[in-house]
Amino acid sequence: MRSAAALPAPHLAPRRGNSGPIVRIAALQKTFGDIEAIRHLSFEVADGEFLGVLGPSGCGKSTLLMMIAGLIGPSAGEIRIKDARVTGPRREVGVVFQSPVLLPWRTVLQNVLFPIELLKLPRSQYRRRAMDLLRMAKIDDFAAVLPRQLSGGMRQRVAICRALVHDPSILLMDEPFSALDAITRDEMAVELQRIWQVNRKTVIFVTHSIREAAFLSDRVVVMGRRPATVIDELAIDLPRPRAIAVTEDETFNRLVRHLRKAIEASHAQ
């Protein structure tokens, strides 16, 4: 893991276990006109935790993530990051969207450095970090290439590097692999786990794939149909690093069955 060692030291520091929740969501509500998207939603995310947010399509998961990112405001309730109320986008948050949203006129490296430019941070200083991230995501050979020359999976890797470049403490991921084929998707899940183990960010990973949520997360929060609220919560106590083969184990499948039942139960109501 030469690549991992090249990253600045703070990311390798062990997490502090008892530092309390880094994200607190309390009695959150969101309505769009007459439509109630989120109703009385509350949960907490521990520092360094990988939290999966699982729910059916269109249940308001993305809305929730956009609110944590500070892009849209809640109708009631509040979101706190490190005890500060979220009122707009914050520096300590990095977002990976469903599509890679790379700028086609910028090379891979320039795309990764885009947040540094927007945040007016010293570009020369972060260039090395960007290269280290690209190396970690195994796309450093493509640093000088334009996005149109990359495959879908590679583009999403670039997007993950971009979300991490300014060293945020929280990474928000909105179904980042949903546009990829099944094989690439599994590969990316393993890669993401590896990147997360190196960087130790708090991750909130929104997905509608039960398998993906169970494979990646320390804990899964299940959201019901609109209006979204937390209907179940499940700790995933599988050792890391997890290989894709873990998804064939009986323990894993028991967890998946549990999550599926929770979702089905919410549909039956």
Partner 1 sequence: MRNRIGKRAASIAWPILVTALLLLAWEISVRTMGIRSIILPPPSAVFEAMAERHDLLLAHLWPSLYLTMLGFGLSVVGGIIVAVLITYSAIIRKGFYPVIVVSQVIPKISIAPLFIVWFGTGTMSSLLLAFLIAFFPMTINAAMGFESVDEDIHRMARTFMGSSWQIFWKIRMPNALPYIFAGMKISITLAIIGVIVSEFVASQEGIGYLIKLAGGLLDTPLMLAAIAWLSISGLALYAIIAGVESWAVYWQPPSEAVGSGGGG
| Residues that bind partner 1 in the complex, under the rule CB under 8 A | 66, 69-71, 89-91, 93-95, 97-99, 101, 103-105, 114-115, 117-119, 146, 148, 166
The residue among 95 and 192 lying less far from partner 1, judged by its C-beta, is 95
Q: Shortest gap between Cβ of 186 and partner 1 (angstroms)?
A: 25
Minimal distance in Å, beta carbon 86 to partner 1? 12
The minimum distance between CB 199 and partner 1, in angstroms, equals: 18
Long-range own/partner contacts, residues 242-249 (CB < 8 A, 24 or more apart): 242/190, 242/193, 242/215, 243/190, 244/186, 244/189, 244/190, 244/215, 246/215, 247/211, 247/214, 247/215
Cβ contact 157:96 at 8 Å? no
Comparison of 115 and 224: residue with beta carbon closer to partner 1: 115
**Residue 31 or 99: which CB sits closer to partner 1?**
99
Q: Kindly tell me which of 97 and 177 has the beta carbon lying closer to partner 1.
A: 97
> Exposed/middle/buried for 66, CB within 10 Å: 0-12, 13-18, 19+?
middle
Look up residue 200 and give its two tokens: 């130790």
Q: Which H/E stretch holds residue 260?
A: helix 250-268
Cβ-based nearer residue to partner 1, 123 or 240:
123
To partner 1, the closest distance from the beta carbon of 49 in angstroms equals: 21
Could you tell me if 123 and 117 are in contact, meaning their C-beta atoms sit under 8 angstroms apart?
A: yes
DSSP code of residue 228: B
Dig out the tokens for 33 from the structure.
Answer: 């006109």
Least distance to partner 1 from the beta carbon of 110, Å? 10
Q: Which is nearer to partner 1, 147 or 153 (CB)?
A: 147
User: Cβ 117 to partner 1, closest distance in Å?
Assistant: 7
Say how far apart CA 6 and CA 267 lie, in whole Å.
Answer: 48
Q: What does the alpha-carbon distance between residue 228 and residue 216 come to, in Å, rounded to a whole number? A: 22
